[in-house]
Amino acid sequence: MLTIFQFFATKTDASVLRMLNGSPADRLLKPITDYVRAKGGRIHLRTGCREILYSGTPGGPGVEVTGLRMTKAGVEEVVRADAYVAALDVPGAKRLLPTPWRAFPEFDKIHSLVGVPVITVQLRYPGWVTELKDGAAGVRDMSRGAHGLDNLLYSADADFSCFADLALVSPKEYYKEGEGSLLQCVLTPADSYMPLPNEEIAARVHKQVVSLFPSAAGMEPTWHSVVKIAQSLYREAPGMDVYRPDQATPVARMFLAGSYTKQDYIDSMEGATLSGRLCAGKVLDAAPGLAGGVKREAAARVAA
């Protein structure tokens, strides 16, 4: 949390702390996929990469990616390209990047990054939990639409590191006439909560919500949802930054992107975006040596 606040305190041109006005699929991903398709790119969904094929001896010079073994609905295909970008999360990167590549320190370090469990809890209330004016009367006032703290919030006094009232920050999707706050609270790292039943987790989070906003005392959630992710973002403990890999790698044609890779931001949506931009720069830098890779690979296979 300190890292985040130091960042916002020192970078005056940083992104504004805000939520998307709509689902990420519509507001974040669609413009990107539209752009990629308009440029002639193709996006293959529900297609998993099973193996990275390569030539050369890991740890030495001249190691080069020669293709990717992909599967879609059980059908396998080897895809060959001039450049390959693995834009994965930490658990995905550990699974996919070939184990022998750990002979390179750059890939070995990734294994020091440990994914932590994250739990997202949503609680719907019959009032406005974060309304700080007029005490309980303000909280219960349903006559004037959504009101309260309209931003992403952080607290050191609760087990959830950050939270927001989605009915306020993202009303297009989450404000419902006649209903109140939809608090979304993210528990991370959530190790101690993982074994608990969902009811218990929701009850504990509700208790902490009321301790942060005492004027909401007496109000009970009308609905809740609990989503557990066993391994997600890496544990951002002090000293972990040195283990984040650069977007360019010692393996020819292989590039990394993803918010866990080295960039100024923490593991976040902004970090993922920035890593993509840095990665694109590294691909462009290497471009003169990348062209013709597919043809060269095909010729080598024919010769063999």
Where along the sequence are the contacts to ligand FAD (CB under 6 A)? 48-49, 87-89, 92, 96, 118, 120, 186, 229, 232-233, 258-259, 267-272
Distance of closest approach, residue 14 Cβ to ligand FAD, in angstroms: 12
φ, ψ at 88 (rounded to 5°): -115, 170
Nearer to ligand FAD, 113 or 272 (CB): 272
User: What is the smallest separation between the CB atom of 264 and ligand FAD, expressed in angstroms?
Assistant: 14
Instruction: Identify the H or E element spanning 184.
Output: strand 182-187
* Distance of closest approach, residue 210 Cβ to ligand FAD, in angstroms: 22
Q: Work out how close the CB of 268 gets to ligand FAD at its nearest, in angstroms, rounded to a whole number.
A: 3
Tell me, what amino acid is at 206?
Answer: H
- Cα dihedral 71, 75, 76, 79 sign: negative
The answer to whether 187 and 193 have CB atoms below 8 angstroms apart is yes
C-beta closer to ligand FAD: residue 49 or 142? 49
Closer of 75 and 304 to ligand FAD (Cβ) = 75
Burial 172-194, CB ≥16 within 10 A → b, else e: ebbbeeebbbbbbbebbbbeebe
Return the number of the residue (66 or 261) whose C-beta is nearest ligand FAD. Answer: 261
* Contacts with 102 (C-beta within 8 Å, 6 or more apart), sequence order: 58, 108, 111
Return the number of the residue (164 or 219) whose C-beta is nearest ligand FAD.
164
Considering the complex, state which of residue 185 and residue 219 has its C-beta at the smaller distance from ligand FAD.
185
Question: Which residue has its beta carbon closest to ligand FAD?
Answer: 92
- Distance separating alpha carbons of residues 227 and 185, to the nearest angstrom: 11
Residues in the chain: 304
Q: How far is the CB of 259 from ligand FAD (least distance, A)?
A: 4
Shortest Å, Cβ 68 to ligand FAD: 9
